[in-house]
Amino acid sequence: MAGVLDQATVSRIQQANDIVDVISEHVSLKKKGREMVGLCPFHDDHRPSFNVNPTKQIFKCFACSAGGDVFKFVQMRENLTFPQAIERLAERAGIKLERRRPTSHESRVTSDETDPNKLAKVNAWAAKYFQDNLRDQIKGKKARDYVTARKISPESEKKWQLGLAIDSPDDLIRAAKAKNVPPKLLDQAGLTAGPNQDKFVNRLMFPISDVTGRIIGFGGRTLDETGAKYINSPTTPLFDKSNCLYGLDQARHQIAASETAVVVEGYTDCIMAHQFGCTNVVATLGTSFTTGHARILRRYAKKVILVFDSDTAGLEAANRALEVCLSQRIDIKLASVPEGKDPCDFLLAAGKERFEKLLEQATDVFQFKWNRLTESFGRDDTLTGRKQAIEEFLQTVATALWAGNLAAIDRGLIVSRLSKIIGLDSKDINTELAKRMGRAAKAASYNVENRKVQSIDWGQGLSATAQREILEVLLNEPKLFETVKQKVAPEVFDVPILRQIAAILFEALNTDAGVSLKDILARIESVDVSNCLTELARAGEEKGNFQSRLTGAMDALAGYYAQKRKSQIKTITGDQTKFLRDVYENTERQNPRNLGMT
């Protein structure tokens, strides 16, 4: 337990946050039997390995062994401590927590670490402050004129919480001081650029939310055309622009429903698309499309349509994004708006239907690449130029083949077309492709997201296996605890991770014989312990045969200790001696085979 709240409150918060609802904010889940499955957000998942059990209220990844209850999911997903996750989910469910003074240990731990919950609160406060500025009759006049000129409707302005950082170097800092917002938090949230210097000055403010809707950063557009046109919050513990997409919280339902995500570049492009009723649109935050973006979208969408400018820079950006998506095994198409227009202008000038038409007619990856290849052949007749163009094309085809994004029939067609244009034999092209597929696989393996889950040391030998079996059984058949506790004490478990779990489990079962898995998980602070416990529960469930497995495991354990007792009898003292004598006698009586160390 976190030591912050009583167990009853923790349970109440756990119950108020349905695990399927919470996880669905981050991963698109599909029903499969009694469970829900999706792509795991904790490893580079390409088949749905992530299972959520709505009845048990637990999740489990079969590939990376992440697992636990709703608190653990939030802890891992948002990098929070256990108390922070409790606080976060209490807030989500609208449960008020009584503030308790932190113990000296806790305050020492938290004093120099940033609390993401607090940063989100400061951001929410600042967003509200900026909004009030924009609505202010006098202060907000010029910015409101700009919003009107950009044809952003009052509804959109409200929905996207647009705001204004007025033309004064330290307006926000002074406002924060007046409201007793700690200056350190303002710094940590990236809202300052130095002492007495706001980060955002004279800018139209676009709050950036994470997928759960809390504000994690800001984008600001200049209102006097000085400095960069757009600036974003710096990277903070909450905000990393290469890993977040503007509008995802608003768009994710429609993206999941249509299995298609449309990606534009700018804030206003995204806002305007939603204003016109295209609600599966998100925006990158003035950065190029990253692997991080692709990974996020992959969890919600099967297909990505990238809308880009048809100028040279736009083409290059599209080309790079395409490579990223291919290597992430995303089906990507490209749609270009007529030159000189951004999607926002285009929507305003041409309307929703033509915009949708544009998306429908989006170019397939190979067509796009083919066009690039043939164009560069027409343009560049030097050997190097042509060679480069072919190389690029071949690599794309190889990546797609490796990722399973290209059917054999398409491969045949592409190879024969390519053979004609470059005058190389089909067989040679196929050999080249095979070589490059190896390269694609290698490149992808470098991209694997750092696993947040440690590999687990389950111990070795018969005794460790027996210990594991006992826990696996108890987690599925708690009523067998009566038998277990007469013969086995939690101290018998000598594999560190199993000992930790045994201690928690024995304590829980001693207080409540009918305790459920999620109740036990709600007592655990450590993500690693939670992963292991969920793994034990799952393995146990799969194996079944609880009674006979328990008997076998207890016999084996007793035999092991009997053996150990023979060799170490003199060094053993106290309670343990008594326990071992008991199990020894039991073993000789019940198990004539005496398994020993075999």
Summarize as ranges the residues that interact with Zn ion (CB under 5 A): 40, 42-43, 61, 63-64
Contact in structure between 183 and 173 (CB atoms under 8 Å): yes
Closest among 171, 160, 177, 235 to 201, alpha carbons compared: 171
Place of tokens 């609390």: 115
Neighbouring C-beta atoms of residue 476, cutoff 10 Å: 20
Strands 197-198 and 67-68: unpaired
For residues 284 and 291, which CB has a smaller minimum distance to Zn ion in the complex? 291
For residues 40 and 517, which CB has a smaller minimum distance to Zn ion in the complex? 40
Strands 197-198 and 192-194: antiparallel
For residues 61 and 283, which CB has a smaller minimum distance to Zn ion in the complex? 61
What would the two tokens of residue 35 be?
A: 């469970």
Place of tokens 């066009």: 371
Q: Distance of alpha carbon 504 from its chain centroid, rounded?
A: 28
- Alpha helix ranges (H) inside 69-179: 70-78, 82-92, 104-111, 116-135, 141-149, 154-159, 171-178
Contact in structure between 545 and 573 (CB atoms under 8 Å): no
Residue 246's DSSP bridge partners are: 283
Q: In a 10 Å sphere around its CB, with 0-12 CB exposed, 13-18 middle and 19+ buried, how is residue 30 labelled?
A: exposed
For residues 63 and 422, which CB has a smaller minimum distance to Zn ion in the complex? 63
Q: Distance of alpha carbon 45 from its chain centroid, rounded?
A: 11
For residues 37 and 344, which CB has a smaller minimum distance to Zn ion in the complex? 37
Rounded to the nearest whole angstrom, what is the least distance from the CB of residue 459 to Zn ion in the complex? 23
For residues 79 and 590, which CB has a smaller minimum distance to Zn ion in the complex? 79
Rounded to the nearest whole angstrom, what is the least distance from the CB of residue 76 to Zn ion in the complex? 10
For residues 40 and 317, which CB has a smaller minimum distance to Zn ion in the complex? 40
Q: Is 92 helix (H, G, I), strand (E, B) or coil?
A: helix
Rounded to the nearest whole angstrom, what is the least distance from the CB of residue 40 to Zn ion in the complex? 3
Q: In a 10 Å sphere around its CB, with 0-12 CB exposed, 13-18 middle and 19+ buried, how is residue 36 labelled?
A: buried
For residues 40 and 205, which CB has a smaller minimum distance to Zn ion in the complex? 40
Q: Is 550 helix (H, G, I), strand (E, B) or coil?
A: helix
Neighbouring C-beta atoms of residue 174, cutoff 10 Å: 13
Rounded to the nearest whole angstrom, what is the least distance from the CB of residue 66 to Zn ion in the complex? 5
For residues 59 and 481, which CB has a smaller minimum distance to Zn ion in the complex? 59
Cα(302)–Cα(404) distance, rounded to whole angstroms? 13
For residues 289 and 300, which CB has a smaller minimum distance to Zn ion in the complex? 300
Rounded to the nearest whole angstrom, what is the least distance from the CB of residue 62 to Zn ion in the complex? 8
Rounded to the nearest whole angstrom, what is the least distance from the CB of residue 294 to Zn ion in the complex? 17
CA distances (Å), origin 472, targets 125, 370, 382, 532, 533:
47, 56, 68, 11, 9
Rounded to the nearest whole angstrom, what is the least distance from the CB of residue 49 to Zn ion in the complex? 6
Rounded to the nearest whole angstrom, what is the least distance from the CB of residue 458 to Zn ion in the complex? 18
Cα(219)–Cα(221) distance, rounded to whole angstroms? 7
Closest among 160, 286, 260, 360 to 352, alpha carbons compared: 360
For residues 8 and 448, which CB has a smaller minimum distance to Zn ion in the complex? 448
Cα(312)–Cα(213) distance, rounded to whole angstroms? 35
Residue 30's DSSP bridge partners are: 37
Rounded to the nearest whole angstrom, what is the least distance from the CB of residue 42 to Zn ion in the complex? 5
For residues 302 and 452, which CB has a smaller minimum distance to Zn ion in the complex? 452
Rounded to the nearest whole angstrom, what is the least distance from the CB of residue 253 to Zn ion in the complex? 24
For residues 42 and 200, which CB has a smaller minimum distance to Zn ion in the complex? 42
**Conformational region of residue 222, where left means phi above 0, alpha means psi within -120 to 50, and beta covers everything else:** beta
Rounded to the nearest whole angstrom, what is the least distance from the CB of residue 65 to Zn ion in the complex? 7
Q: Is 316 helix (H, G, I), strand (E, B) or coil?
A: helix
For residues 42 and 160, which CB has a smaller minimum distance to Zn ion in the complex? 42
Angle subtended at Cα 133 by Cα 130 and Cα 138, rounded to the nearest 5 degrees: 165
Rounded to the nearest whole angstrom, what is the least distance from the CB of residue 299 to Zn ion in the complex? 12
CA gyration radius, the chain: 30
Rounded to the nearest whole angstrom, what is the least distance from the CB of residue 64 to Zn ion in the complex? 3
Rounded to the nearest whole angstrom, what is the least distance from the CB of residue 238 to Zn ion in the complex? 23
Angle subtended at Cα 420 by Cα 419 and Cα 424, rounded to the nearest 5 degrees: 40
Angle subtended at Cα 15 by Cα 11 and Cα 17, rounded to the nearest 5 degrees: 120
